[in-house]
Amino acid sequence: MINAIFYILIFIIGTLFGSFSTLAVYRIPRNEDITHKHSYCPHCNHKLLFLDMIPILSYIFLGGKCRHCKRKIRIRYLLLEILTGLIFLLFAMSLNIELMEKSKIIYLTFGILYLVGMIIIAGIDKENIKISKPILVYEIVILSAYMIYLYIVENANIYRYVIYLLAMLILFFIDTLKLKKYNVDNYKIEIIILAVIQAVFTYSYGFMITAIITLLAIAFYTAMNKTFNKSKAKDKNNTTREKIFV
């Protein structure tokens, strides 16, 4: 019974983080504050009431519309809240946690913080084809805190984690230099940094799967980028020829 209540609580926490993630995905690319600025409707800018911000339930009771301007709320917000709740629940269940197991509770906490960052990064990437650098830094901070915990409290061997952290910092430094020099982020480097972060929390088998998916993603992105550039160049040439003949 106690475990059931615990898992229900984890699901509710997941939906809350899911609601926060939708806010972050919308605001971060627009350089808006995500912690102090009150939630508002993006259509009419009316500040939302507490009852308007209850995950899942508010969407259902409001019929998927803003209380004030009656504009439809995109269903992806509801789906992300549900999905995040399920991800948190499945993650907690996979650990088979007993409430007195301190080490698993702490790992669950770090895992939740890690998952929130990854969900936000994925959401922003989907909308803008861009890895959010502030959230990338956040993930590196979470990783560093987890390493410190393992070393001080668990007396664990953290050499593997140190190697991962150094690799991330080097890649992050290279990405920052390129940003300063060319005023553009290196999407491929940032994806590799994400893969290394995932390797810390998913261990060897998870890392192998992550590495394969990452390489495929980079190949797909590179191929799509080249195709887009060729198509753009072809359209430009055609436009130029039309102007000459006209």
Picking from 93, 108, 118, the residue whose alpha carbon sits closest to that of residue 146 is 108
Share of the chain above pLDDT 70, in %: 79
- 8 A C-beta contact, residue 142 and residue 106: no
- 8 A C-beta contact, residue 87 and residue 57: no
What pLDDT shows up at residue 13?
Answer: 93
Distance CA 213, CA 221 (A): 12
Name beta bridge partners: 65: 72
The residue-averaged pLDDT of 51-77 equals 85
Tell me: pLDDT of 100 over 60. yes
Picking from 148, 184, 191, the residue whose alpha carbon sits closest to that of residue 168 is 191
The radius of gyration of the chain from alpha carbons, rounded to an integer in Å, stands at 22
> How do residues 199-220 score in pLDDT, each as one tens digit?
777 765 556 665 666 566 666 6
Picking from 148, 153, 13, the residue whose alpha carbon sits closest to that of residue 91 is 13
Distance CA 102, CA 224 (A): 46
- The mean-pLDDT minimum among 22-36, 75-89, 130-144, 168-182 falls in 168-182
* Token pair belonging to 142: 């979470």
Tell me: pLDDT of 239 over 60. no
Distance CA 201, CA 210 (A): 11
Picking from 115, 74, 108, the residue whose alpha carbon sits closest to that of residue 94 is 108
Distance CA 124, CA 5 (A): 33
Average pLDDT of the chain to the nearest whole number: 80
pTM (two decimals): 0.76
- 8 A C-beta contact, residue 89 and residue 80: no
